[in-house]
Copies of this chain bind each other. A is one copy, B any other.
Amino acid sequence: MDSRFDELLRRLGAIDDLVRAGTLLGWDEETKMPVAGADARAEQRATVEAVTHEHRVDPALGELLEELRPFEDAHDRDSFEASVIRVARRDYRKAVRVPPELRAELERAGSLGYRAWLRARADNDFATMLPHFERNLRLRREYVSCFAPEGDPYDVVLDDYEPGTTTAEVQAIFERLKERLVPMIRSVAEAEPIDDSCLSGSFAREAQHRVSLAILEAWGVQEDAWRLDYTVHPFEVSMGLHDIRLTTRFDEDNIHGILSCLHEFGHGLYERQIDPSFARTPLADGVSSAIHESQSRMWENLVGRRTSTWRHFYPLLQRELPAFADVALTDFVRALNKVAPTLRRVDADEVTYCLHVILRFEIERDLLAGRLAVRDLPDAFDAKMREYLGLQPPDLANGVLQDVHWSDMSLGYFPTYALGNVVSVQLWERAEADLGDLDEHFGRGEFAPLAEWLREHIHRFGRTHEPRELLFRTVGSGMDPEPYLDYLQRELEELFGTSVA
């Protein structure tokens, strides 16, 4: 039976290799490829994706997984062997549910939708996007029906990003978030605005790069296993557990690029600290989008916008970027933590961010259930923007067409952004309970204890435990919005005094 398990590892290793080959084609396209290479690259990516999929749904893999049931049962549930078989079987069963024709059609229509979205956004023209939305939504419904869901059909798309979490659970969390966030934001809108003018100016890209690298190195990035490259839309990928690639974009007129490095670092550290013996198995990945996002949000927001962190790094920033020479540390950190309703999700602060997500989640559910027609999407979007954030989008690029996610009707991803925020504070509080006052660590430039705590409690497991179980083992509960809401309340008190909080 051991030789059958070896055969399984061989097959899963090949799938992992193919996935990473596809990852490299994508990373290279975004960071290195000469622009004229785009057409050839699209073909290369499609072929590698198709070949990978053939390996994923190979009936021989399914038979092997069945043969290995006694082997799995003979091993402890948490063991490497049982976990690999369990997770691989889950992946296989999901993969074979979707006919290859539908998968190809989703791919093709999604790609057309993406190109139409670029044009529609630039031309402020919803009409040209409408048929793409309609086709992609129809295909997404077909996809959902492959899984013959008994409960909420949205559970199916959610499961692709957040395995085991139900729409009902998410809705309950989001209702509670709304209940407290909407009034918070109303009072913020009425309060004296935070002055963040120091964050605009002229900031040499080279200097921003040096500052980012210095912070990343202090946080554990080493040249032998990490890279940092430039791209248009920052992201993180790993070519293996020892080859972690962050990307960012430095603009001359703001320092978003530095914060985006800190965000992507959180994703990278997760993959870097997965148990190295999981390499080339399905365990060697983050367990869900929300848990992944909790890591990037933690390092960007909870660590990266914190006074104690900047007490350590601010002298460096002032040396490298003379525009900050006369800005006090407290003013700088206050500016970093500015709260104010904005039109664009990606520019949103910690407090308003979740509402951008919640309104999208609600719209996605209505679209999938047929309660909302695609032609009514712009009105529905704007109405929720007014209700939750008090803002009316002036055009589609700052409204319903601002995100790429709907260009192919990729539903189910948005909610994990807000869940990531929620989880990040749950983990943070547990880490502080274990490690003592983290501000003391950070002020001394010690970030390793937090990184090690995350390795021990989250990262090393990869996909061994489902998100719910992982969270329960670590914080003793499921996803809980209260710590996050209390954290925001404290933030607002610090920024505005009791007038707002």
Contacts and interface: CB of A to CB of B under 8 A. Distances in A.
A25 to B, nearest CB: 6
Interface in A4-34: 13-14, 17-18, 20-22, 24-25, 28, 32-34
Contact of A47 (B14, B241, B243): B14
A192 interface: no
A96 interface: no
Interface stretch (A36-44, A288-296, A468-476): A36-44
A28 B237 CA distance: 14
Contact of A39 (B50, B223, B242): B242
A243 B37 contact: yes
A34 B280 contact: no
A52 to B, nearest CB: 9
A21 B48 contact: yes
B28 A24 contact: yes
Contact of A243 (B18, B20, B41, B223): B41
Given A34-B243, A47-B13, A40 B279 contact: yes
A34 B241 contact: no
Which residue, of A36, A39, A225, has the highest number of chain B Cβ atoms within 10 A? A36
Contact of A225 (B32, B34, B43, B227): B34
Interface string A224-241: 111100000000000111
Contacts of A404: none
Contacts of A241: 40
A47 B14 CA distance: 6
A51 interface: yes
B13 A43 contact: yes
Contact of A25 (B24, B39, B50): B24
B14 A239 contact: no
B242 A48 contact: no
Contacts of A74: none
A35 interface: yes
Nearest to A242: B36
A320 B111 CA distance: 46
Contacts of A25: 21, 24
Contacts of A43: 13, 17, 280
Given A25-B24, A51-B51, A41 B224 contact: no
B37 A239 contact: yes
B37 A240 contact: yes
Interface in A37-66: 37, 39-41, 43-44, 46-48, 50-51
21 contacts: A14-B47, A14-B50, A17-B43, A17-B47, A18-B47, A18-B51, A21-B44, A24-B25, A28-B28, A32-B32, A33-B239, A34-B224, A34-B226, A36-B224, A37-B225, A37-B240, A39-B242, A40-B243, A40-B279, A41-B243, A44-B240
Contact of A48 (B18, B35, B225): B18
A395 to B, nearest CB: 31
Nearest to A28: B24
Given A47-B13, A242-B34, A243-B34, A40 B280 contact: yes
Given A24-B25, A37-B240, A39-B242, A44 B32 contact: no
A259 to B, nearest CB: 23
A281 to B, nearest CB: 12
A173 B51 CA distance: 46
A119 to B, nearest CB: 22
Nearest to A43: B17
A314 to B, nearest CB: 29
Nearest to A17: B47
